[in-house]
């Protein structure tokens, strides 16, 4: 599979753009465990044009995470076009347009999935971004606004005609939000009846190695984009690739490895955001990392109460709940996890 000049091999796995999740520290970990492409959190086009600090910071990309895509959203054509130029200057490998976010505050101004109610505007924005970019442009969208407005096969043809290099589709409507089953049969229709010469990337309910392999088999998509299944579980890329190839899932990470990765994730966050913000933002990740362990709830409470990087590491060091899986105490900063320093930013 290729996205423009980027060769990704057969059945690549992509990290989905997720607000407050797919930041540089997490993308680095997912890349280490097998993600073939990683995407940034979505970035407001208006925020970039007006140089909002929070939006500009999300442009940070690292050489170690390439190929990396920067995703933008917005319903103002001129702003999106200007934002595309700003992003292009940062030199990502891919520029992605978010036409799929279902959140009310985004869709109310034709951002995200809101654009699915105005397909001529969707076409105009896509053409404007393609014209402004010097690197591949991709799109992530949904089946439609609701069941009565599903035109995704024709939308796929239109977007390809605009010049995008790959299309990712979350197989739900905006009305569904994240409820109900993703309708994978539409992915096969997009692949067989819609797109002609660019890849189709499947998304939605691909949260386990078994489901990822099943999506490839049932839909014929060229790649699978993993979202919620990766939260607190960067190992899913490694596990899915092994399962696709051998039919077997590798043993889960040892307790030592899990604590080491959580500790590194924390240190990277603190390095990137500063200690206070890094500690606060890391709190949303603990549920995923320790899901299914007996005693994890009490441990998460202690982690949430810790206010400094050192105190969080102390809690991780002291974590010895009565777990079903083997538990080995580790140092507060495990061997091999030094004070984390992010690699230099991309030129």
327 band by pLDDT with thresholds 50, 70 and 90: very low
Neighbouring CB atoms inside 10 A of 222's CB total 22
340 band by pLDDT with thresholds 50, 70 and 90: very low
Convert 109-125 to b/e letters by CB count within 10 Å (16 or more is b).
ebbbbbbbeeeeebbbb
Residues 48-55: contacts with CB under 8 Å, at least 24 apart: 48/72, 48/82, 48/83, 48/86, 48/87, 49/79, 49/82, 49/83, 49/86
Q: What is d(CA 143, CA 156) in angstroms, rounded to the nearest whole number? A: 10
Q: What is d(CA 85, CA 258) in angstroms, rounded to the nearest whole number? A: 40
> What mean pLDDT comes out for the span 138-155?
97
Partners of residue 98 on adjacent β-strands: 140
269 band by pLDDT with thresholds 50, 70 and 90: very high
For residue 325, pLDDT over 70 is answered with no
Instruction: Name residues whose C-beta falls within 8 Å of residue 328's C-beta, 6 or more positions apart in sequence.
Output: 254, 255, 256
Convert 54-79 to b/e letters by CB count within 10 Å (16 or more is b).
ebeebbebbeebbbbbbbbbbbbbeb
For residue 43, pLDDT over 60 is answered with yes
Question: Considering all CA atoms of the chain, what is the largest pairwise distance in Å, rounded to the nearest integer?
Answer: 58
Q: What is d(CA 128, CA 123) in angstroms, rounded to the nearest whole number? A: 9
For residue 296, pLDDT over 90 is answered with no
203-247 per-position pLDDT tens digit: 999 999 999 999 999 999 999 999 999 999 999 999 999 999 999
151-183 per-position pLDDT tens digit: 999 999 999 999 999 999 999 999 999 999 999
Q: What is d(CA 3, CA 138) in angstroms, rounded to the nearest whole number? A: 8
Q: And the tokens for 91?
A: 């030199």
Active-site amino acid positions:
101
Higher per-residue pLDDT: 296 or 264: 264
Q: And the tokens for 322?
A: 């009565």
For residue 288, the 8-state DSSP code is: H
Question: Is the pTM above the cut of 0.95?
Answer: no
| pLDDT the model gives residue 339 | 45
Lookup result for tokens 């092994």:
242
Q: What is d(CA 13, CA 211) in angstroms, rounded to the nearest whole number? A: 13
For residue 66, pLDDT over 80 is answered with yes
User: Cβ distance 143 to 183 under 8 Å?
Assistant: yes
CA distances, 19 to each of 103, 183, 227, 299 (Å) = 11, 23, 11, 25
320 band by pLDDT with thresholds 50, 70 and 90: low
**What is the percentage of the chain residues whose pLDDT exceeds 70?**
92
Q: What is d(CA 229, CA 148) in angstroms, rounded to the nearest whole number? A: 29
335 band by pLDDT with thresholds 50, 70 and 90: very low
Partners of residue 94 on adjacent β-strands: 69
67-102 per-position pLDDT tens digit: 999 999 999 999 999 999 999 999 999 999 999 999
Q: What is d(CA 314, CA 335) in angstroms, rounded to the nearest whole number? A: 14
| pLDDT the model gives residue 194 | 97
> What mean pLDDT comes out for the span 253-280?
95
Q: What is d(CA 324, CA 141) in angstroms, rounded to the nearest whole number? A: 40
**What is the percentage of the chain residues whose pLDDT exceeds 90?**
87
């Amino acid at each position: 599979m290729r996205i423009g000049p980027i060769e990704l091999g057969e059945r690549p796995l992509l990290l989905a753009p997720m607000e407050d999740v797919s930041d540089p520290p997490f993308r680095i970990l997912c890349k280490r465990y097998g993600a073939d492409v990683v995407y940034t959190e979505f970035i407001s086009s208006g925020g970039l044009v007006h140089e909002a600090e929070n939006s500009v910071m999300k442009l940070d990309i690292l050489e170690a995470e390439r190929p990396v895509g920067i995703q933008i959203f917005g319903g103002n054509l001129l702003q999106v076009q200007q934002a595309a130029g700003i992003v292009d200057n940062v030199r990502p490998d891919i520029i992605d347009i978010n036409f799929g976010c279902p959140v009310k505050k985004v869709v109310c101004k034709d951002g995200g999935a809101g654009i699915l109610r105005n397909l001529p505007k969707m076409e105009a924005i896509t053409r404007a971004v393609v014209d402004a970019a010097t690197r591949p442009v991709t799109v992530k969208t949904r089946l439609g606004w609701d069941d009565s407005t599903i035109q995704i096969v024709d939308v796929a043809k239109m977007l390809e005609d605009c010049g995008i290099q790959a299309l990712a589709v979350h197989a739900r409507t905006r009305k569904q939000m994240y409820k109900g089953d993703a309708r994978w049969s539409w992915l096969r229709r997009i692949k067989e009846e819609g797109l002609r010469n660019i890849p189709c990337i499947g998304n939605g309910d691909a949260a386990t190695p078994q489901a990822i392999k099943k999506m490839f088999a049932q839909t014929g998509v060229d790649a699978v984009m993993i979202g919620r299944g990766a939260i607190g579980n960067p190992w899913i890329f490694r596990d899915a690739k092994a399962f696709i190839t051998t039919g077997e899932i590798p043993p889960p990470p040892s307790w030592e490895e899990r604590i080491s990765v959580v500790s590194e994730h924390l240190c990277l966050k603190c390095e990137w955001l500063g200690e206070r913000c890094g500690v606060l933002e890391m709190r949303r990740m603990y549920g995923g990392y320790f899901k299914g362990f007996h005693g994890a709830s009490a441990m998460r409470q202690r982690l949430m109460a810790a206010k400094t990087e050192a105190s969080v590491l102390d809690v991780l060091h002291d974590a010895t709940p009565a777990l079903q899986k083997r538990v080995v105490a580790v140092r507060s900063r495990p061997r091999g996890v030094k004070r984390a320093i992010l690699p230099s930013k991309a030129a």
